[in-house]
Each structure stands twice: as C-alpha cells, then as structure tokens.
Amino acid sequence: MKTLQRYALCGLLACSAAVASPDEDLLGQKQGYPLAPSAARIHEPAYIVGSFSGMDRLSPSCELAPADNPSPLRTAEKEADIRYRFRNRDYTLADYMQHQRATAVLIVQDGVILAEHYGYDRTQDMRMLSNSMAKTLVALAFGKALEDGSVHSLEDRVDQYVPGLAGTLYGATRIVDLLRMASGAKYVEDYTPTDDRARFLKTATKQGVLAAAAQVNERADPPGTRFNYAGAQTEVLALVLKAATQRSLCEFVDEKLWKPMGAQAKATYLVRESDGSAFAQGGFNATARDYARLGSMLANDGVVQGRQVVPRDFLLNMTDALRQPDPFRPGQMLYHGNRYYGYGFQVWLLPGEARRFVLLGIHGQAIYVDPQSKLTMVHLAVGQDAAGDASGAHLGAEREALWRGVVEKFAR
C-alpha cells in the first residue's frame, strides 16, 4: 500500500523516485524517519535518515542566507535514461536507488537537471548533511581570501595568522601542506571510538579547536611529503581563515561563496558551544539542489552566470592532478591500500586523462565534477558505516560505476 501511495504521489508531483529504498523498515520508515534523541545517536539505523536531513535541529548552528537572485536550474523536459554497468550487469538509475542507501541523486549539465531521484521520502527542500564534502568549501574560501589579500600566500605558516599555535606542530606547518592533508602529523582517522579524530573532537567540544590542535604534537613524516587524511587539518585551516578575514567561517563562506554561487535556499554550519567555531571538517547542511549549484560552479571553473566567483587559476591548483606533487596524483598516492584517488586542495582527484574530481563525505556523500563536460552528480546517502560498505552493498564501488555511466553518456 505504501508503494502504491508513493507512485500516486509522484504522479501528482512529477517526481522521479517512486521505487522502494533499501532497508526502509530498519531505517525508521514506519516512525516517519525520526530525528535522533541526541547528536550522539545520529548514526543509529533508526535515526540516521531523519538526522542526516535535520542536523541543524539537533545541534547549535549558524545560518547562511541564500542569494537574492538564485542561479537557475532548469529541469529537462524528459528525464535522461541513465544506465551503468556494475559487476558485469547493466542497471538504471532507478535500480541504483533500490540497491543503495541513497537519499538523493541529482545529475546536472549546463544548468539543466537531467535526473533527480530521492529516497526514504526525502525532498528537495530538506537540508542534507555534507560530512567531509564541507572540507572543499574551506579550500574554496582560501581562494577568496587570497583574492582579497587577507591571506598573503599558501606558503605562509599557520602561526603567522594564529599566534595561539606558535610552538606547536600545526603552527609550524604551511597552509598549502594542510590543504593537501600533508602536515606530516602522526594522526589516525579510522572512525573508531578511540582514534585521534575522536580525541580531537572531544577536546574541541570541551575546550575549543585551538586546544585540540595544540595536542597534535608528533610528526610521522616531513611536511608536504605524504598524504594522511585528517579532519584536524581542516579545522586548523578554519582557524587561519577566521584570523585572517576577521569573519566567522559561516559569514565568510556566505558572503564570498554561497550568495555569489546563487544558492536558492538557506544553508547551515553546525557550531561548537565551546568556542563558537563552525564544524569545518563536516558540519555543513544544504539542499541537494544547492549542492548541485556548488558542483555546477566548479564544473564551470568558478563562473556563475557570467561572473567569476572563484579564481580559475586557484581552482586549477585545487583540482588539476598535474599541478600536484607526484605523491598526491592518482595512481601514485597511497590511501587505504590503493592508488585510485589523488588529492588536491581538500578535494579528491579522479584518475584518467580528463580533469575530473569529487567531493567526498563519509556514509556516502559525494559531488562528482567534470569541467570538460560541465557535468556534475550529487550523491547523498546514509551508508551503513563510514565507507558505506559494511552491509556488503559496495556503495562506493557502485557509485563510481554510476558516475562512469553518466560520464560515458554525457561526456564531450
């Protein structure tokens, strides 16, 4: 009966997601996908769907206002027939929505929505949690801070802007090395309850980011030589931005990126009560369509409605594998035992001759970008674990296959 009602509703609203999502009962469908009782329980199966689209109702947050004149997104007269191949079988986008715990998938080219599917009764007006896709916003903010002169050079050390980190490991690290996740700090981020990330977040919650950053004090590698993913580096970058711009991250991103990008809806950053800092490494919340606008801006090399919002040369420094040192290029950078991805400035670089890259967040969040084809794919999800693969569904692998199918169909 629920499925029949969903088909009828989609007929009335011309929506495209009329298929059942996986594990609906486990994930709280009968309860209306409720919010978690507290932020500490958002990853529990019964609460993850509701919480990932309602984090700013669970935790303190600051608001980013939309643009006065939002960048238009037109909807194609007929939804594109999206097909992909995975494990020697052919599938459609509708199949994908039945296989994976995706809350939203949008495919946009040249400002036209080619396909838009939602799962778990999510809708286009809901603000979805970014997780680590937020890191790329911090890098983009540095492009704007360089442009307006508040940051002088990416070669500068952190302690030139944040005197409170003088004499610390991060204080003695260059901004560019933090952008590439290459501070050299000994730091384990594997999303277990006792990893360095958990320790950092605990200290930041109680004493603020400055105290948490100061406790990271052992180097494993010379700075700039090896990739080691650590959200603490993004938090330190946010400290630099705040000190350099004399604005909160929320204010600066809103003024310099969110409004100029043409966002249609309000967005939010989760903030810490200890020091008022935004959760820079993963606490951003926005609608799927505004994530698509962000991806479209990147696909157009920083141009929105004829205006250069982010300097093109900075975006190339961020996203072009050939502009990265060899240890950070796809095929050469080692991460979790494979060399598939490379890494630029707070963004993942995809292999291949064309410049393609992706913003990634745990539990399945992603924004894929192909500047050559002005193509972007937004993927929001509630994967079972950080990688999304604990259930054996191979979310990451099938998502990549879906993206390859999109590129094969629409690449120029």
Which tens digits make up the pLDDT trace of 289-300?
999 999 999 999
What's the pLDDT band for 7 if we cut at 50, 70, 90?
very low
Percentage of residues of the chain with pLDDT beyond 70: 95
pLDDT value for 55:
98
pLDDT category, 390, cuts 50, 70, 90? low
Q: Give the residue extent of every domain in the chain.
A: 2-127+248-410, 151-245
Read off the pLDDT of residues 118-166 as tens digits, 9 standing for 90 and up. Answer: 999 999 999 999 999 999 999 999 999 999 999 999 999 999 999 999 9
In CATH, which of 3.40.50.80, 1.20.58.710, 3.30.420.40, 3.30.565.10 is domain 151-245?
A: 1.20.58.710
- What is the architecture of the domain spanning 2-127+248-410? 3-Layer(aba) Sandwich (3.40)
What pLDDT is stored for residue 9 in this prediction? Answer: 38
Confidence of residue 388 (pLDDT cuts 50, 70, 90): confident
311-351 residue pLDDT tens: 999 999 999 999 999 999 999 999 989 999 999 999 999 99
- Per-residue pLDDT band at 384 (split at 50, 70, 90): very high
What pLDDT sits at residue 387?
81
Each residue of 216-244: pLDDT tens digit?
999 999 999 999 999 999 999 999 999 99
Q: Which residue has the tokens 């958990």?
A: 198
pLDDT of residue 108 exceeding 60? yes
Q: What is the pLDDT of residues 27-58, one digit of tens each?
A: 999 999 999 999 999 999 999 999 999 999 99
